[in-house]
Structures are given as C-alpha cells and as structure tokens.
Structure 1
Amino acid sequence: MKATLRPQLGQSIQLTPQLLQSIRLLQLTAPQLEQELRQALERNPLLEQDEEPEEPAAEADPDAAARDAAAWDELPEPAFLSGGNAAGEWDEDAGARVAASASSDPRQRLLQQLALHWAPRELALAAWWLDHCDDRGYLEQPLEELLRAGARHWALPARELELARQRLLHGDWPGMAAADAGECLRAQLAALPPTPARALAERILRERLDLLAAHDAAALAAALDAAPEQVRAAVALILGLRPHPVEELPASGHEALVPDVVAWKADGAWRVALNGRAAPRLRIAAHCERALAAAPGEAGALRGLLEEARWLVRGVAMRHDTLLRTAQVLVERQRAFLERGEEAIAPLTLREVADAIGMHESTVSRIVNGKYLQTPRGTFELKRLFAVRLEGAEVSGSAVKAMVKRLIDAEPAHAPLADDVIAGLLARQGVRVARRTVAKYRDQLSIAPARLRRRSPRQAKAG
C-alpha cells in the first residue's frame, strides 16, 4: 500500500471559553442564574451588585453581545449545528457539550442520554421523531402521515425512519414515540424479563384491551382460557407500567417557581419585561476599573479578573436580550391564546421564532427551556407557547385537543358524543380532522370512549 498526502479544504468552528460561557448562561434557569451570579460576586472582587434602578441601556454593548452571539449562533453553514462539518462528515455539536443541569424538556434529557451511544445521524432522526411527540411521549399525528412527511423531509425510505422510531420505542425510555397507549404498554412489557405473566399480559394488550378497560377479570379469564389467578397477575403487571413513557424529573421539594419574564396588557397592547427580581444585577466596580487603568503593566492577576468580569456581564446581557426578544415574539404570536385560552393557541415552531429574532433554532431551544412567563392567565413555561400545526389545517393540535375537551365536557350525560360526531361538530367550526385524530386526543386527555361515558339520567343526577 502506497502512502499519499492529499490536501483537503474544510471549515471548523472553535468555541472560545467566553462563548461557551455565554451558551451556558442561556441554558440556566432563574434560580440557577441567581446562584451562579452570587458565586461570581464572592469569587471576583471586581464585581459588585447593582442596586440602582435598571436603565433602558444595558451595561454591556448590545452590538458586541450580538457579535458574540453571531459567532456561534448565526453561522453560515447550518451543518455545524445539525452535527456535520463542511466536509460532509458527522460530528457532535460543540455547543451541546456545554455542561448544564437537567433540562425541564424531557426530549432534551432523552437526547442527552442517546448521544452517549447513538451515531450523530441516528440522533438527528431521533430528534425529528421527538419533535413530533407530545409532552407525554406519544406521536401527535398518525404514524402513516409522519412516515410520509419524514420520508420527504429526510429523503430517506420510510423503513429507515420506522427503524429509528423502533429504537426509540424499545430504547432507554420504553414506549417513547408510541402511536398509542397499547403500543407504549407493549414496549414497556417487552423490556421486562420473560415470564408467564408477561406473556399473558402481552396477549391481553394485543387481543382483549376492551375487557381490560372494563376491569372484567372473569371475562378476561374466559376469553384467554386462563386461570383467574394468572389473569390477576398479568393485570397487576400491566397496572404497574407507566401510563406514558416520559420520565419526569425527580421533585426537588425546595425549588421555587420564579418567572423570568412578565407579560401584561395595557392600552390594548401586550407588553413584556424581564423580571428584575429573578437574579441580582452585576456591574464592574468603577473604582477598581479606574485603578487598573492607571497602573499599566502591573497587577496581572487583577487584569485577568477584570476580563472575566467583563465577559460575565456581557454574557448575562446577551442572555437577557435574547430572552426578552424571544418572549416578545412568543407573546405577540400567541396573544389570542393569552386573551381567549387554549383553543386559540396558534401553530408556532422553533424555526419561526428563530427567524423572527435572527438566531438559530438551538438558541431558542436553550433559552425557552426552564424559563417561565407570568401572565394574567397564569405562569407557565415559555415552551408551552409552541404548538405543532395540525396537518391540512390552520390550527394547532393543542387547540383542537382543547376543543375536543370542551365538547365532551358539555355533552349530555345520557347521550355522550362519539368520535365521529365530535369530528363533524369541529368541521362545522371550520376545523376538519379525522375521527382517529379525535380518538387520539381523547386518549391523551384520558377520556373514555362514548359507550363507557354513557350514564342514565339518575346516575348523572347522583354524580
């Protein structure tokens, strides 16, 4: 074999420690940022807390902060942030390697786990599937529609996309990206050691889910030709499974919910402002900066602390600016939701918000995770203002789900609405959805089918 040298031209991005710090500050929640800044006050004598009322102009140069953001965020080659480089080779996103606490977004937590043993290309497919899952981990649209859309988006055979979904389904969080509750429960059962009870439980989920929902153990035993005690063991195994695959963060018991942004309506317009009490405001001690400027060539260690303090103040200013601009776009796009409620929430994606503020989707994803918005309608996480557009409609899936719940809540107790009837009522309101879509949202709301919701007038009066 003859060794040869071959020149190759490529681009690479090197993130400086200062930029990595800026990225990390974007991800911090309000309590984490407060802790970070208080530690910086104790560690760096050149920093002091700013007790004065906040002025409209930020301490840090906004143009400089924007340039710093552009260095990693508004890149000419999007391949950097999707796991590739200029040579077409897959590599990890350097920004994703920044140390951070557990995200409040379950999809982000799962992707962090998968990144340990999934190839970058496979991880990108997993992220696509997770983007089409609701907060409980179920697919938000029918599987066949998603496979067609994914095949067009990725220019891949549907079989390869389904393979990635199956890896999620039977992976670290069994049942993730399941099409329905039955598939989720079967995936969880498959992760358990093989036993006679597990085999019978799989048969129940596959063949007699209706009898399981009716809690009719005797009918199950007769239908499956099994002993009553075997059926009880199988049912107990099923009841021990999680109703949805998403693993929740362990409750800390001591973290307070601190809104990062406040939105209110005044003079017919919605206004947005940062919560000044969310974290202490820092500034560089002016007398220390003047003293160092008058002593050129001396106090090298203090000059290093001064540079560190400048980068911290600038990074915090960039975080606040990005958070405020993101919140302003979200409130403006979802003002109907803030005024009228869940049924008015509009379809909105990370890309649309990123385009509006001139940054990358990864920045928006980082800045909304764990950040809370206080509104007259309540306090909730910013990511709740994102909603997936229902295919073939001009409304979001969250809005349709709220409509389904409203119709079922108002139905007569003795004549509950079937799924196809609900679909017809929605069509009269200009929202055309399939019966199976109504059934999917009803399942997500943990509402039983119409035949199980029917009650006699006497029962309704007693209830």
Structure 2
Amino acid sequence: MLGQRLEIRQGQGLVVTPQLQQAIKLLQLSNLELEAFVEQELERNPLLAREDAEGEAEPVAETPDRELSLDDAGAEEAAGAMDARADDLYGEASPGERVSDRADETAQPGLADWSAVGRGGAAPEDLDGDRPDRRELTLWEHLQAQASSARLSTADHAIALALIDQVDEGGYLRGELAEVADRLGCGLDRVEAVLAVCHGFEPTGIMARSVPECLKLQLIERNRFDPAMAALVENLELLARRDLAGLRKVCGVDAEDLTDMIAELKALTPRPGAGFGGEPAQTLIPDVHVRPDPAGGWRVELNTDTLPRVLVDKRYHAVVAGAARSDTEKAFVADCAAQANWLVKSLDQRAKTILKVASEIVRQQDAFLAFGVEFLRPLNLKTVADAIGMHESTVSRVTSNKYVATPRGVFELKFFFTAAIQSSDGGATHSAEAVRHRIKSMIEAEAAGADVLSDDRIVELLKEAGIDIARRTVAKYREALRIPSSVERKRMLKTA
C-alpha cells in the first residue's frame, strides 16, 4: 500500500563551505602560488591591505569605491562567526621551535577536523575548483618520475633527485658530483654509479656533463659507438674547424666513411632537454629553514620572507561602514569584512601547520641531517600524521610543493618519506636501504669461499636476522644492485 508521510531524521555530516574549500586550497599552494592568490584577494577585497614592517597597514589612496570599517557591529558579528569556525579548524604552534623540546608534546587536533574530508564524501582533490588545467610534464618532473620507477634504493633515489636538481633546461648536468657527494654524506663512487643509472633515462643523452658525453650516450643507444666514432666525438673541435683531413687521420677512416659518420652525428640531439617546454626555471625558495641548535637538536623556523603579510584595514572600514545606507551596501561591507578576517586567520594558521609538520619530519629524520643519506629512516604519511594529531590527507597537502633548507641542501618535504621493511619478530622496521646493503654483503662474501646463495636462502637468512621479506623483493633488490642470479654467479666463480 502506497502512501505519504513525514519523517524527522537526525544525522551527522561534513558541510564543505566555501571557506573550508579555501582553507584546503591555501594549505596545498606553493609559496609562489600563495603570493599570486593573495595578490588577487588584495585587488578583489577593499578591506585587505599589506602589512608593513611595523605591523600596520600600508597607506591606501582614497578612491570613491574604497570606503569600509571593521568597527561596524554587523560586520564584526559576521566575521566573528567565521573566526570561531577557523579556531575549530586549526591547531597552534610557535613560529620557531626546537624539535628536541617538543618530542613529548601532546598532539593537538590541528587540522584534523577539516582534513577528515578525505575519509568520506567528496574527495579532497575535487574540492578545489580553481586548480590549474592539466599540462605536460616539465623536464624535471619527467626525470623525477623515472627516478621513482628505477628500482633505486632509498639512498640512491635521494642521490638521483639531488642530481636531477642540477640539470639545466638543455638537459645537461651542471653540478659537481663531488659537491653532491659531500652534501649528502656519501662516497663519490656511489654518486657516479647513480648517475650511470640516470644516463639510462629518456630522452637519451639526458644528464650528460658535456656535449661529447651527450652524443656518446645517444650513439651507444643506437649501437654505433665504435672506435672510429669515439675518436670523432672526442675531437669535435676539429669538426668545428672543418679539419676533415685531421679527422680522417684520428678516426682512421676514408673520406666516404667520414662523411657518413658526420651525417650520423648531425642526426643526434645536442640538447636532449630542449624538447620539454614546461615552465620557466624559477628560483627555489624554501618555506622552512632547519639549523643546528646550540642547545642540541635542530631548530626549525619558517621562512618569513615567503609569507604574505596582510591585515584588515580597520580605519578604512570605519569610513565606509557609516556611509552604507542600503541593505545591499551593508551586506557587501559585512561580506568583505568576513572574508578579510577569514583570509588573515587562514594564512596565519597555514604557516603554523607547515611548521608543525616540518618539525615532526625533522625530528624523525634527524640522523639523516647529522650523518648523511645512508641514515634516512623509514617514514610514511601516517606516522607523521599520528604523531601530530592530523589526518594523512592534511600532511600530504602540507608536504606538496613545500621546501625545507637544511645543512645538506634544499629538499621538498616529500623527500623524507621512505619505504620500510617490516621486522619478522614484531620489532622496529628496517629501512629498505639497510636491507639492500645486507643482501649485497651476503653476496660479496661468496667470493671469499662461501657457498653461492640462492634468493630463497637469502630470504631464510634475513628472517633469521629478524627481517620479514618476500623472495620477489630480494630478487628485485638484487637486480637493482646489478647482481646476477645465483646460477650465473656459480658459473662466473667456476670460470674464475
């Protein structure tokens, strides 16, 4: 039997207000994007003004369309409601703090309330309608993606990212390998080994240190780097002078062969990175600074130079509040006041949230800062989120496009998240790099007379040492270390 009736139901739900969407958007913006956003708000909202060094609003030219005041009761009431909501959304943190002093600090709720959007309902990524359109990857993003899929160890991946940062628009590596090794606290031979892996990235010839090396990599890929071509590549200055007789002599070929070789050389790409348009190179400005603290530990501080300084122009609002007569004018004044208060508070709490997350990451990775890349700890978003009382999605937004300047260089906050290998006895996890080093040591011992270890035997020995790892993972690590299979190693030992 069909019928109509009224029912009252009570339930809980998260209302994603425009202000909440703005808070989420601000959190994930880089410092350059944030500056552009604030510029737009300054143009749109007449109540906002830049803050000068003394903490006062910069003087604004008197114009007929700019007349407002925060002393108006209606504006204060509307803004107060948004302020109360903002207090619920964010946690507090000091502008600069010592990590060692806050290790036992009680976790604060922080952004956990609004960051819970990621747990259900609309996906956080779908909340921002103003996200930029899809674009092609830049050269550096293209290389970083290949580095992430190259089966490198945690430490080697960190080295690869440091090398990629040294690549110019043409695709050439301009940094000194010795400087990278010194900064990351590892050996020069290891940096050279990682660079050799990077030379296998696309486009061919990328990350070469000179034009001859770039051409050499492309010729090797085409299987055309024979002794004659090697001599030609090593004597490009003769080619530039059109000294064909000299080239025929050093290459040991006749005129016809030399003509073919030069044609092959001209078919190569001397600037492999030029095919990537992407964005113009911009100076990397860190959001956070990490310095040794004289009292011990590390001092984590926001880079105040990157923080937009805006405030609500109360004097200006006072001029217009009394002049507003119609309901439309009063509503406009109240809306501008509410939006201005919200933006000022959101910017302040965004800075505190970044500092909070960065401080916890530094506390977790203090061994890397002190001793080098070999000491990167296994770390994931959940570990940091649980430690500071935030949701993983919040930590993910904070660590995107945010950079920290450390004594070992400038890194994106996401750099510090590394894979972990579980312990078979329920104890502490092991870093992937430490496990790879152990596997390498086991196999190197074979040359000293020990039996050749199969992948299954390596799994057994690692489990006896408290490391829970699958056979396919051992095989993957062994291949990443460029170590042959046990069958091939047995054959090599017999031949030796």
TM-score calculated relative to the size of structure 2: 0.50
CA deviation vs aligned residue, 1:307-354 (integer Å, no higher than 9, x gap):
222221111112111111111111112212222233333333323322
Task: Report if aligned partners of 1:50, 1:282 keep a CA contact under 8 Å in 2.
Answer: yes
Is 1:67 the equivalent of 2:88? yes
Cα distance, 1:51 vs structure 2: 3.3
Kindly state the Cα deviation for residue 292 of structure 1 after the two structures are TM-superposed: 4.4
Secondary structure of the 1:14 match is coil
Alignment deviations for residues 151-174 of structure 1 (CA, whole Å, 9 cap, x no partner): xxxxxxxxxxxxxxxxxxxxxxxx
Shift in CA distance, 263/62, structure 1 to aligned 2, threshold 3 Å: farther
CA distance in 2, matches of 1:77, 1:371: 18
Shift of 1:375: 1.0
1:390 pairs with one of 421, 434, 438: 421
Structure 2: how far apart are the matches of 1:409 and 1:53?
61
1:259 alignment partner AA: P
Paired AA for residue 266 in structure 1: D
Deviation (angstroms), 1:279: 4.2
Query: What is the identity, as a one-letter code, of the residue corresponding to 1:93?
Result: A
Partner of residue 118, structure 2: 81
Give the Cα–Cα distance (whole angstroms) in 1 for the partners of residues 33 and 453 of structure 2. Answer: 48
Deviation (angstroms), 1:358:
2.6
Q: Tell me, in whole angstroms, the C-alpha distance in 1 between the residues paired with 2:134 and 2:354.
A: 17
Q: Which residue of 1 aligns with 2:477?
A: 441
> What is the alpha-carbon distance in structure 2 between the residues aligned to residue 339 and residue 323 of structure 1?
22
User: TM-score by structure 1 length?
Assistant: 0.53
How many Å separate the matches in 1 of 2:85 and 2:342? 11
CA distance in 1, matches of 2:348, 2:380: 25
Contact 1:103/1:369 (8 A) holds in 2: no
Q: Aligned letter for 2:281? A: H
1:158 aligns with none
Alignment equivalent of 1:260, drawn from 278, 281, 287: 287
Match of 2:52 in 1: 51
C-alpha separation in 1, matches of 2:463 and 2:42 = 59
State the distance in 2 between where 1:326 and 1:10 align.
Answer: 33
1:340 matches 2:374 = no
- Aligned residue in 2 for 1:163: none
* Residues 1:20 and 2:21 are matched in the alignment: yes
CA contact (8 A) 2:421 2:467 kept: no
Report if aligned partners of 2:89, 2:114 keep a CA contact under 8 Å in 1: no
DSSP-derived class of the 2:420 partner: coil
Counterpart residue number, 1:274: 302
Q: 1:103 to 1:271 in 2, by over 3 A?
A: farther
Q: Distance in 2 between matches of 1:419 and 1:103?
A: 47
Structure 2 distance, partners of 1:334, 1:428, is 28
Q: Tell me if structure 1 keeps the 8 A contact 2:459–2:474.
A: yes
Q: Match of 1:34?
A: 35
Q: Partner letter of residue 45 of structure 1?
A: P
Whether the 8 Å contact between 2:384 and 2:395 is mirrored in structure 1 is: yes
Q: Does 1:404 find its partner at 2:425?
A: no
**1:31-66 per-position Cα deviation (integer Å, ceiling 9, x unaligned):** 2112111222233333222231789xxxx9998643
Taking the aligned partners of 2:376 and 2:288, their CA distance within structure 1 comes to 19
1:93 corresponds in structure 2 to: 123
What are the Cα deviations for residues 204-262 of structure 1, in whole angstroms up to 9, with x where unaligned? xxxxxxxxxxx9xxxxxxxxxxxxxxxxxxxxxxxxxxxxxxxxx98423344322111
Rounded Cα–Cα distance in structure 2 between residues aligned with 1:404 and 1:269: 29
Deviations 1:108-147 (A, max 9, x none): xxxxxxxxxxxxxxxxxxxxxxxxxx94398x9xxxxxxx
Whole-angstrom CA distance in 2 between matches of 1:77 and 1:305: 26
The CA deviation at 1:447 is 3.2
Q: Secondary structure at the match of 1:277?
A: helix
Q: Contact 2:422–2:467 (CA<8 Å) still a contact in 1?
A: no
Q: Using the alignment, how far apart are the partners of 2:461 and 2:133 within structure 1?
A: 42
Aligned equivalent of 1:287: 315
Stretches of structure 2 lacking an aligned partner (at least 5 in a row): 57-79, 92-108, 138-146, 154-222, 224-275
Who is 2:202 aligned against?
Answer: none
Q: Residues of 2 paired with 1:424 and 1:329: CA distance? A: 36
1:274-330 deviation digits (Å, cap 9, x = unpaired): 112224322223431443466575753344333222221111112111111111111
The alpha carbon displacement at 1:381 in A equals: 1.6
Distance in 2 separating the partners of 1:288 and 1:377? 47
SS in 2 for 1:264: strand
Displacement of 1:23 after TM fit? Answer: 0.9
Select between 341-350 and 33-42 the one with higher mean Cα deviation. Answer: 341-350
Equivalent in the alignment of 2:196: none
* C-alpha displacement of 1:404: 2.4
Counterpart contact for 1:372–1:381, Cα < 8 Å:
yes
In angstroms, what is the RMSD of aligned CA positions?
A: 4.8
User: For the Cα contact (< 8 Å) 1:260–1:371, is it kept in 2?
Assistant: yes
In structure 2, C-alpha distance between the alignment counterparts of 1:386 and 1:297, rounded to whole Å? 57
| Equivalent AA in structure 2 for residue 306 of structure 1 | A
What is the number of residues matched between the two proteins?
Answer: 307
- Give unmatched runs, 5+ long, in structure 1: 84-90, 107-133, 141-214, 216-248, 457-463
1:2 partnered with 2:28: no
Distance 1:76 1:98, change over 3 A: closer
Aligned to 2:244: none
Distance, in Å, in 2 between the alignment partners of 1:292 and 1:410 is 78
Q: How does 1:448-459 map to 2 (within 5 A)?
A: 448-449=483-484
Per mean C-alpha deviation after superposition, the further-off stretch among 423-432 and 33-42 is 423-432
Match of 2:299, SS state, is: strand
Give me the identity figure in percent: 34
Look up the match of 2:392: 361
